[in-house]
Amino acid sequence: MIKTRITELFNIERPILQGGLMWISLAELTSAVVNAGGMGFITALTFPDPESLRTEIRRCREMTSRDFGINLTFLPTLRPPDYSSFIQVCIDEGIKFIETAGYNPEAYIDHIKSGGITVIHKCTSVRHALKAQEIGCDAVTIDGFEAAGHPGEDDVTSLVLVPLASDALRVPVVASGGFADGRGLVAALGLGADGINMGTRFAATKEAPVHENIKKTLVEHSELDTSLIMRTLGNTERVLRNPSVEKVLEIEGRGNATIEDIIPYVSGLVGKAMLEEGDVRRGILSAGQSMGLIHDIPSCRELMDRIMAQAEEVIREKFLQVLTSERGPETG
């Protein structure tokens, strides 16, 4: 049992979050995480329209009696999704938690808050975390350099970002990027975080609705098998290295690459077809350095039980000496 400001904020037993994973955090995964005592977020933009999200929320309600959250990612695009309607669906359906990500959600905060919803904003730097706090977010998730997907452009690692963020912020901080086991949870709490967020690790669970080949790929590859692409476009993604990624890196290496040059090789950046068909050689699969720490495909409950048990074991093994020596020589 580890209580933190994050377990209180989300009314959960374990300080473990499954943030939004495009195409992956559907009702199956998110309900499994919340049923195991954590907090999960269904990605709204996985759905073509707000009514489809409503259907998914109702489907998830059938899988759990607990609260779960919705991820809303704000993208720079000429034709933005109908965020207001997605938010209204969340409010109508009694959603209590939203994870925002991507661009500054300021324009939508009042709408979200009007539904009494708690907001955690995911970002990649202390300055963006401070901005999120300023506009009223209740917590932040901070992604280190090691994270899958968008780790930002600063390349600062979780080990450095987390203590800096926890020094700078009043609101709780969730550490993200490089976390996959109980040792990481202990490290995150030691660094000042109130919990951990995991992406790649949750993609390699029984309940993740992706092709078995994808899960096996995450198990079989190591911390050395990710690459950063689209750095030259200022929109870096950490992904599994495969032939498509090698091609993108080659194009970027030539200089002056545009998104049009790259699109043919990433064949749908979000990798929906790959996730469904299981061909990991083509397209793009987000994967963090935590891949090196993934050795099996457990259920979410098995995974989270193990993380908590390992964290408690590490704390006893490493830190009991400090607490007992503090009490004086008679107990030493």
CB nearer to a second copy: pick between 63 and 314: 314
Give min distance, CB of 13 to a second copy, in A.
Answer: 12
Rounded to whole angstroms, the Cα distance separating 21 from 10 reads: 19
Rounded to whole angstroms, the Cα distance separating 33 from 26 reads: 11
The token duo for 174 is 């969730």
The residues, ordered by sequence, that sit 6+ positions from 220 with a Cβ below 8 Å of its Cβ are none
Q: Is 145 in the site for a second copy (CB under 8 A)?
A: yes
Confirm if 168 and 126 have CB atoms less than 8 A apart.
yes
Query: What is the distance of C-alpha 200 from the center of its chain?
Result: 8
Stretch that binds a second copy, among 70-78, 82-90, 116-124, 152-160 (CB under 8 A): 152-160
Confirm if 227 and 245 have CB atoms less than 8 A apart.
yes
Give min distance, CB of 5 to a second copy, in A.
Answer: 12
CB nearer to a second copy: pick between 58 and 318: 318
Give min distance, CB of 164 to a second copy, in A.
Answer: 6
Give min distance, CB of 47 to a second copy, in A.
Answer: 33
Q: Is 164 in the site for a second copy (CB under 8 A)?
A: yes
DSSP for 264-330 reads HHHSSTT-HHHHHH--TTSS--B--GGGGG------HHHHHHHHHHHHHHHHHHHHHHHHHHHT-GG
Stretch that binds a second copy, among 17-25, 32-40, 72-80, 157-165 (CB under 8 A): 157-165
Q: Is 292 in the site for a second copy (CB under 8 A)?
A: yes
Residue from 113, 183, 206, 301 that binds a second copy (CB under 8 A)? 183
Site string for a second copy, 311-330 (x = CB under 8 A): xx-xxx-xxxxxx-xx----
Angle between helical axes of 300-326 and 182-191 (0-180°, round to 10): 50
Reported as type and span, the H/E element at residue 32 is helix 27-35
Residue from 105, 184, 195, 271 that binds a second copy (CB under 8 A)? 184
Residue from 12, 16, 189, 303 that binds a second copy (CB under 8 A)? 189
The token duo for 127 is 């300055």
Give min distance, CB of 42 to a second copy, in A.
Answer: 27
Rounded to whole angstroms, the Cα distance separating 231 from 239 reads: 12
The residues, ordered by sequence, that sit 6+ positions from 148 with a Cβ below 8 Å of its Cβ are 177, 199, 200, 226, 238, 239, 286, 287, 288, 290
Q: Is 156 in the site for a second copy (CB under 8 A)?
A: yes
Q: Is 130 in the site for a second copy (CB under 8 A)?
A: no
CB nearer to a second copy: pick between 188 and 280: 188
Give min distance, CB of 316 to a second copy, in A.
Answer: 6
* Residues at the interface with a second copy (CB under 8 A): 1-3, 144-146, 154, 156-161, 163-164, 177-179, 181, 183-184, 186-192, 223-224, 289-290, 292-293, 311-312, 314-316, 318-323, 325-326
